[in-house]
Copies of this chain bind each other. A is one copy, B any other.
Amino acid sequence: MVGVRGARVTDFGRTTLPYCSFVRPGEARARVGVGVGTDVVDLTAALATRRHAYAGLFAAGSLDPLLAAGPRTWHEVRTYVAANLSALAEHQVPASGVELVLPFEVADYVDFYASEHHASNVGRLFRPDGDALTPNWKHLPIGYHGRAGTVVVSGTPIRRPSGQMRERDGTIAFGPTAKLDLEAETGFVVGAGSSLGEPVPVESFDQHVFGVCVVNDWSARDVQAWEYVPLGPFLGKSFATSVSPWVVPLAALAGARIDPPRRDPDPVAYLQDDEPWGLDLELEIAVNGTVVSRAPYSEMYWTPAQMLAHLTVNGAALRPGDLFASGTVSGPGPGQQGSLLELSWNGSRPVTLDDGSTRAFLLDGDRVTIAATARLAGGRRIALGQVEGQVTS
């Protein structure tokens, strides 16, 4: 579990209480922290000092043992922290003074494709002669496995990948991607695992998923376009996927649950949901400080509960640390798309930054920040953390 100096901490409210893994200056070992305001409560130290029954869960400094402990323990730890915030202040340090590292070991990583607007846009760009959506799109949440070993914490430099691509004249070239892109997504972190052969029904979502993080699924569009038929994206995605250092417990998002868009046609039984797991989140995307998009998660066609039910309906087992991401979040309006591919319409309408420069795709040195917020019933907006990364050559 290595990491680099992570993202700036967003100012967390006292009911959000996201978890992180962090390293104090001069120390080698990691600790588990809880975000309060712009500080981190050192939970590893606090529970050890107090000889708390759950101290052992935090001793290793990673979220892995907590994830595996299951929903009853998640609830008890969160309740304990919320009830003892004042007393725990003695273990509080400014987040800006510590190194935030990858908070859990990613077991399997799955990326979905759950935004109708994004899928339609990509379909028009990649398959201009076909239908925007493939025939299966409204029947199941399309997804594929990505590379768990290249999931990195926010702040990790992103080296521009090289790969094969087909030029306009049909020749096959090899070199650095000319179409390096971001993808703003919401990630769902599985805690409690499941047994091989046992599907997880849509209503058991919150018994298995621990929380939410912010994901940038970096993409090399020219590599992807050449390689992805017939077995899907591979090297166009596998060079790096960045995640926020904070995992926000699902419990903190109870007030942000909303009805998802109406699904038409009705999906088959295992995808039918009575409990609403739409989420009123917004992902604000900035390139070098210029906000280029505010992508509304509320528009996602498939909910994370449906994604999990689909992922396991064939009996595939879950493990603690499985991460599944929503796919690029794009809304219907201008300035709501979660990728430069869509924002610049494959480069044909470059995006203008505050310094007057334009971007079709990312240049070396560009810094991408995706900051997530949730709007709770009543309208109050809470911060969920952010993921950032700078492109290097």
Contact = CB atoms under 8 A, between A and B. Distances in A.
Contact of A149 (B220, B239, B268, B319): B319
Nearest to A228: B230
A72 B381 CA distance: 56
Nearest to A156: B196
A263 interface: no
Interface in A80-121: 107-108, 113
A172 interface: yes
B145 A146 contact: yes
Counting chain B CB atoms within 10 Å of each CB, the highest count among A148, A156, A322 belongs to A148
A316 B231 contact: no
A375 interface: no
Given A144-B145, A149-B318, A317-B150, A310 B235 contact: yes
B235 A313 contact: yes
A235 B174 contact: no
A223 interface: yes
A312 to B, nearest CB: 9
A197 interface: yes
A166 to B, nearest CB: 8
B268 A152 contact: no
Interface string A132-164: 001110011011111111101000100101111
A195 to B, nearest CB: 10
29 contacts: A126-B230, A134-B230, A135-B166, A136-B166, A136-B227, A140-B164, A142-B230, A144-B231, A145-B145, A145-B146, A145-B147, A147-B316, A149-B317, A149-B318, A149-B322, A150-B317, A156-B196, A159-B197, A164-B268, A174-B268, A174-B269, A196-B240, A197-B239, A220-B314, A228-B232, A229-B230, A235-B311, A238-B311, A239-B315
